[in-house]
Structure 1
Amino acid sequence: MSNWSEMDTYAKQWIKEAGKKVRESFQTELNIQTKSNRNDLVTNIDKETEQFFIEKIRAVYPNHKILGEEGFGDELESLDGIVWIIDPIDGTMNFVHQQRNFAISIGVYENGTGILGYIYDVVHDELYHGQKGKGAYMNDYALPKLEAVKVENAVIALNALWVTENRKIDPSILAPLVRDVRATRSYGSAALEMAFVASGRLDAYLTMRLAPWDIAGGKVLIEEVGGVVTDLKGNELNLLNKSSLLVGKPRLHNRILYDYLNKG
């Protein structure tokens, strides 16, 4: 039987410690590299933060598996057992350019089910956290259950790139949604955008392509407050693969899914 309370205490302690180190790095010179393309940035802080978490987890929970963005964890073919899914800095471009709008994101899964979720807005010292069946919180504030909202009253997050010509989705599909909602936003950090849906600051968020570590923590939080998390076809997410993502308040998720994305 897993001691989730103990695990939660450790996770929060490590996240706060890592966040302090990240804030202190603002005064140092970053070593910035690119990954898949010139806009896919990674810094020494991303790498050091992931290694920090791995060192802590391995010391206390040597039998747990780790899936991390920077590749210092395990190579997984399944989510059997207990798996920590870690994004050491989600929103690296914001971290580099703004020193704002980035987060540490961690999800702890047992046999594929999300049990613990964390998204830490490092700069604002806001830790969104939740445990399956026990609700979600922002710091010590219990997040209320999400209430339904009409499309025309909704503020949704999406990248403007997806409304321009691209190979992932016909822009004519998203254009009516953008026109019908009250407003759109883009923060450049999937983790923060999911945290904002969980806390009611946003009503929905959609994107064409994310990795498991972008989603794992936020999925736990959103489901704990009654939100819905699927891909753009309405399917359950596979947290071993990249996926599209649609998260939203109840009813609004379905409206976007069937009245816009999969109309007819």
Structure 2
Amino acid sequence: MISGAQTERSTVWLQDLLERTADAVAAALVADRTDVETSDASWRDRGERPGQYRIDLVADAAALDVLRADGVGVLSEESGLEDRGNGLIVAVDPVDGSTNASRGLPWYATSLCAVDEEGPLVALVVNLATGTRYRAVRGGGATRDGRAARVSGVDRSEKALVVLNGYPGRHLGWRQYRALGATALDLCSVADGSVDGTVDCAHDALGPWDFLGGSLLITEAGGRVGDLHGRPLDEIGHGVRRTPVSAATPALFDELLEGRRSLDG
């Protein structure tokens, strides 16, 4: 386990590790795009399981090469859990929003979050289409491309622009909504004030790799994030699933959470 005395040094190393991992993923996808353009392959080619694409596997291989070399544990959506027994695990979604990527929609990301015994410690989410980088360190704040990120401050649903995952079936009181298709980036958009909240309208469909990085961004930017049923968001496991709700302010969080709970009767 990492002691308090080691944390500051560890965060610097982890920040560098996550940056190198994201760089490796981006480079691998650029190279694969070139291969695809000169062959019969496509980013829409399906992988080994439902919802998996060729690009997920290419990106996962690139991420694992870097993370394994530095000896950290890994929890990947694509390849599962590898616990090195050293108290550090990096949750990685190699391509969050791979359907968007396969169709040329510029809303897909690599999401990385290093977790220690106290929870999320360092996060990096990179929009692979635009290059925008969201970074956070526990107790150290959040940034978007190096500038401090802060939530919007909106405190009422009737004033809020909300991003949805899944379909709610009815209006829950928001002013406007969007459905964008990449949870990590959706959460980062709450952290930087672009939107005011997110509501997962599916049922325990999201894994830790989807929300850990964005959740740390939100809390470090002054917002709120939690699970629909009050379960911890930092539990590590490939079978862990949650239903997250996030918001810029406690008042908005409570409204969105109550609205989401009303969907389940």
TM class, shorter-chain normalised?
0.7 to 0.9
The amino acid of 1:249's aligned partner reads: A
The amino acid of 1:71's aligned partner reads: S
Q: Where do residues 99-110 of structure 1 align in structure 2 (5 Å cutoff)?
A: 99-110=105-116
The amino acid of 2:73's aligned partner reads: K
1:155 shift after superposition: 0.5
1:6 shift after superposition: 2.0
Q: Which residue of 1 aligns with 2:68?
A: 58
1:23 shift after superposition: 3.5
Question: In 1, are the aligned partners of 2:28 and 2:58 still within 8 Å (CA)?
Answer: no
Question: In 1, are the aligned partners of 2:199 and 2:260 still within 8 Å (CA)?
Answer: no
Distance 1:235 1:7 in 2: 27
Distance 1:119 1:125 in 2: 10
Question: Structure 2-normalised TM-score?
Answer: 0.83
Paired residue for 1:211, among 207, 211, 228?
A: 207
Q: Which residue of 2 aligns with 1:42?
A: 53
Change (3 A) 1:12 1:75: closer
Change (3 A) 1:144 1:95: same
Question: In 2, are the aligned partners of 1:23 and 1:123 still within 8 Å (CA)?
Answer: no
1:18 shift after superposition: 2.2
Q: Which residue of 2 aligns with 1:229?
A: 225
Q: Where do residues 166-185 of structure 1 align in structure 2 (5 Å cutoff)?
A: 175-177=170-172, 180-185=173-178
- Secondary structure (helix, strand or coil) at the match of 1:118 reads strand
Question: In 2, are the aligned partners of 1:157 and 1:193 still within 8 Å (CA)?
Answer: yes
Deviation per residue, 1:186-205 (Å, 9 max, x gap): 11111111111111111111
Change (3 A) 1:201 1:186: same
Distance 2:65 2:254 in 1: 41
Q: Which residue of 2 aligns with 1:169?
A: none
Q: Which residue of 1 aligns with 2:46?
A: 33
Question: Structure 1-normalised TM-score?
Answer: 0.83
Deviation per residue, 1:76-117 (Å, 9 max, x gap): 9xx971100000000111111125211000010001500011
Change (3 A) 1:80 1:246: farther
Q: Which residue of 1 aligns with 2:181?
A: 188
Distance 2:28 2:90 in 1: 20
Deviation per residue, 1:163-182 (Å, 9 max, x gap): 24xxxxxxxxxx241xx211
Question: In 2, are the aligned partners of 1:234 and 1:257 still within 8 Å (CA)?
Answer: no
- Secondary structure (helix, strand or coil) at the match of 2:189 reads helix
The amino acid of 1:212's aligned partner reads: P
Q: Which residue of 2 aligns with 1:162?
A: 167
1:253 shift after superposition: 0.5
Distance 2:62 2:32 in 1: 14
Deviation per residue, 1:128-171 (Å, 9 max, x gap): 01100111011111112542432111000114x4224xxxxxxx
Identity %: 22
Change (3 A) 1:109 1:41: same
Deviation per residue, 1:201-259 (Å, 9 max, x gap): 11111113201111111111111012111111344323431111111111211122235
What number of residue pairs does the alignment pair up?
Answer: 244
Distance 1:82 1:260 in 2: 33
Distance 2:180 2:150 in 1: 23
Q: Which residue of 1 aligns with 2:254?
A: 254
Distance 1:203 1:242 in 2: 23
Indicate yes or no: 2:11 matched with 1:18.
no
Question: In 2, are the aligned partners of 1:91 and 1:102 still within 8 Å (CA)?
Answer: yes
